[in-house]
């Protein structure tokens, strides 16, 4: 199926200057940051903002073409349990595998603006405090280099899985 090249996540290392107008970038985490630090020792529970549940449902009903492809052709039938549009802390992540501590984000054009890059960097940092790893791919990666995306995801899954 398409190009079988090995694919590294599409995340530039240089995120550029941060826009401190964002509450997240100022460190205003709505009280969740302190809980994050306490819970990171006991990773059995990761809190979420219950106000995000309805929005997550809407996003599951209206997935992008790339999200739909990844869900239908890979995650839905996987041996490990993947959840889509999962509220974690005060975010909604595209795909989440709790047993692997892995979040997969599929990024559209908005993620490559100066603000989007800074926001994603901070978001990844907050999620890392929960012991979670985040990998990112572009919509184009999923649609045109699907096999490479799958290889990159499988590299990060527990040995013997995937």
Per-position DSSP letters for 28-80, written without gaps between them: --TTHHHHHHHHTTSTT---B-GGGHHHHHHHHHT--HHHHHHIIIIITT-SS
pLDDT category, 12, cuts 50, 70, 90? very low
Q: What tokens appear for 94 in the block?
A: 């595209």
pLDDT category, 113, cuts 50, 70, 90? low
| Residue 111: strand, helix, or coil | helix
State the average pLDDT for the chain: 77
Which domains are delineated in the chain? 56-155 (3.40.960.10)
Q: What was the pLDDT predicted at 55?
A: 95
Find the range with the poorest average confidence among 10-19, 85-94, 113-122. Answer: 10-19
Top pLDDT among 23 and 95 is at 95
Q: Is the pLDDT of residue 98 over 60?
A: yes
Q: What was the pLDDT predicted at 162?
A: 45
49-80 confidence digits (pLDDT tens): 999 999 999 999 999 999 999 999 999 999 99
Q: Is the pLDDT of residue 2 over 70?
A: no
Distance CA 39, CA 2 (A): 42
Q: What tokens appear for 57 in the block?
A: 């449902």
> Tokens 């809980």 sit at which residue?
35
Q: What was the pLDDT predicted at 26?
A: 42
Q: What was the pLDDT predicted at 111?
A: 57
Q: What was the pLDDT predicted at 25?
A: 43
Distance CA 110, CA 117 (A): 9
């Amino acid at each position: 199926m398409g190009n079988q090249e090995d694919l590294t996540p599409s995340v530039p290392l240089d995120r550029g200057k941060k826009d401190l107008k964002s509450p997240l970038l100022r460190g205003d985490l709505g009280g969740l940051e302190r809980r994050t630090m306490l819970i990171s020792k006991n990773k059995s529970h990761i809190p979420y903002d219950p106000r995000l549940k309805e929005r997550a449902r809407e996003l599951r009903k209206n997935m992008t073409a790339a999200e739909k492809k990844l869900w239908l052709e890979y995650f839905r039938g996987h041996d490990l349990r993947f959840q889509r549009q999962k509220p974690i802390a005060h975010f909604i992540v595209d795909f989440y595998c709790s047993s692997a501590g892995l979040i997969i984000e599929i990024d559209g054009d908005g993620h490559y603006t100066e603000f989007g890059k800074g926001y994603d960097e901070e978001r990844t940092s907050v999620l890392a405090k929960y012991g979670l790893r985040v990998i990112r791919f572009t919509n184009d990666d999923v649609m045109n280099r699907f096999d490479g995306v799958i290889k990159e995801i499988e590299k990060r899954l527990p040995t013997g899985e995937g």
